[in-house]
Structure 1
Amino acid sequence: MTRLLVIVNDIESQPGQLTRWMISENVEFDLRIGGISPLPGPDALSAYDGLVMLGGGYMPDETDRAPWLADEAALVRRGLEADLPQFGICLGAQLIAHVTGSDVRAQTGAPEKGYTRIDTTAEAADDPVFSAIRTQTSFVESHVDRIVSLPGEATLLARSEACEFQAFRVGRAWGTQFHPESTRENILRWDGQKLRTLGFDKATLLDEATELGPESERDAKALFTAFLDVVRS
């Protein structure tokens, strides 16, 4: 059976839809919660077919607040060396970027919240994961930090109006600034006052989620299923 290591970096950023899709695809997953359950060492990656890293309110090098991020970075490095398929979301993507020498900056550029238009690049058409989705779609965003540069060996796969680096690939490691695991249910739990301080209205975000959610979920499922196909191969 296909087996994934899934790392939760923040209790507010859980696997969401990914859980249902992994079960429906007969994928076994070992869920570890940073700061609560210890992460396996790099040598233990041989017991897994892939690695999934979720989001969280930290910078990828913020090991003073989140000490497990050092262990997570070690897993990313070993995974890259072993050509192990990896999928990083938000902080997870920033961690892949950080390990490969990218520039990741806190509270940089315009924040993105709620369903946001994503445009894939020409290179996405030949990518084994991103070729599975439409060239224009929407996914949930929730970030104020971002990647501001990628290393030369990275392939840019998607962008948005406010954020150039929405998705990329390095080897067989994919990173997304957006959240394919999230839905309108996540937005319902967001703090309305905090959203207002960032320039967003919660009611508007929820209305947009009602309109855009169904097609977004289809693309999100196609994206993650394509990643699972890579894992199985």
Structure 2
Amino acid sequence: MSAPRVLVVEHEKGTGPGQFGERLAAQGLDLDLCRPWDGDRVPREPGRYDGLLVLGGSMGPYDVDRAPWLPAVCRLLRAAAARDLPTLGICLGMELLTVACGGKVRHAEHPEVGLCELTPLLPASRDELFAFLTESDTPPCAVQWHWEETSVPPEGAVPLLTSARCTHQAYRIGTSVWGVQFHPEVLAGDIATWGTSDTGPLQALGLDPDAVVGHVAREEQRLRTLWGGLAERWGTVVSARRRRRDGAE
């Protein structure tokens, strides 16, 4: 039997799946990387993929002049959600999932950059991915890097996480489709180049790029454990759905 296959959509150079990809590969999942920024065609349907991972990027979900493939990614996300295919949208990926499924995204009044605390909501305690966050007395923290945010989630979306500056940090659609505004896939090395390219916007927020990266570096082991575990939980969902599909055929 072949390994479960995950389609990974990457929106620009330097925004790959990071530790998320490493954990999924270690579980035996095959990752097919789609890079529309480099000319790859975005599939119309998820086909026989067992999971869909849509990553972040510096553009917003409505920036079709800058990234003309975004409507195609929305179409793909909409098809995945209709099938309840195991899906995870990260940062821009969540914003695209929101738009694809009928919600709204706006420019954030208070952009989040660097390490920020998250607050699990009551439904998270019953969620397949996020229940583990409710079992600790220590608030989870995650890397944030966004100037856009979901203002109106898709109808029926279950809110899972929030933060002081961003109401909708994570939600679930159906049983297997998740969006997260934060970046569980990145560590200090991943965001070092982001700090360089976003120097002006960070300084406008009163932030020093080197200090932001340094803060993440000091928490790296915690981030590896926390969000690497999330990656493995999502990989387990993908594999379990694949086994059910094989059993039904």
- The TM-score bracket by the shorter chain reads over 0.9
Unpaired runs of 5+ residues, structure 1, are none
Q: Which residues in structure 2 correspond to 1:129-140 (within 5 Å)?
A: 129-133=129-133, 136-140=139-143
Shift of 1:161: 0.9
**More deviation in 63-72 or 123-132?**
63-72
Query: Is 2:64 aligned against 1:67?
Result: no
Structure 1 41/48 Cα, relative in aligned 2: closer, same or farther at 3 Å? same
Q: 2:187 touches 2:217 (CA, 8 Å); kept in 1?
A: no
TM-score by length of structure 1 reads 0.93
Is residue 113 of structure 2 the alignment partner of residue 116 of structure 1?
A: no
Structure 2 counterpart of 1:160, one-letter code: S
Q: Which amino acid aligns with 1:211?
A: R
Aligned match of 2:170: 167
Between the two proteins, what is the percent identity of the paired residues? Answer: 30
For residue 195 of structure 1, what is the aligned residue in structure 2?
A: 202
> Following TM superposition, by how much is the alpha carbon of 1:154 offset from its aligned partner in structure 2, in angstroms?
0.5
Q: Kindly tell me: are residues 101 and 151 of structure 1, through their superposed partners in 2, closer, same or farther at Cα, counting changes over 3 Å?
A: same
Q: Which residue of 1 aligns with 2:12?
A: 10
Query: Quick one: which amino acid aligns to residue 33 of structure 2?
Result: L
- Code of the residue aligned with 1:22 in structure 2: it is L
Deviates more, 1:125-134 or 1:2-11: 125-134
Structure 2 Cα separation of the partners of residues 12 and 118 of structure 1? 25
**Alpha-carbon contact 1:158-1:168 (below 8 Å) kept:** yes
Deviation at 1:85, TM superposition (A): 0.8
Paired letter, 1:49: D
Is the 1:114–1:187 Cα contact (8 Å) retained in structure 2?
Answer: no
* Match of residue 54 from structure 1: 55
What TM-score, normalized by structure 2, do the two folds share? 0.87
Kindly indicate whether residue 147 of structure 2 is the aligned counterpart of residue 144 of structure 1: yes
The amino acid across from 1:95 in the alignment is: L
**Secondary structure of 1:101's aligned partner:** coil
Spell out, residue by residue over 1:155-196, the C-alpha distance to the aligned partner (whole angstroms, 9 max, x if none): 111111111111111112101110011111133221244421
Residue 185 (structure 1) aligned with residue 189 (structure 2): yes
Give the whole-Å Cα distance in 2 for the aligned partners of 1:67 and 1:138: 33
Question: Where in structure 2 are there 5+ consecutive unaligned residues?
Answer: 241-249
SS at match of 1:110: strand
Secondary structure of 2:60's partner? coil
* Residues 187 and 205 in structure 1, CA contact (< 8 A), matched pair in contact too: no
Aligned residue type for 1:205 = V
What amino acid maps onto 1:215 in structure 2? R
Using the alignment, how far apart are the partners of 1:69 and 1:46 within structure 2? 19
Is structure 2 residue 211 aligned with structure 1 residue 208?
no
Structure 2: how far apart are the matches of 1:203 and 1:225? 30
Cα RMSD between the aligned structures?
A: 1.6
What is the aligned partner in structure 1 of residue 243 from structure 2?
A: none
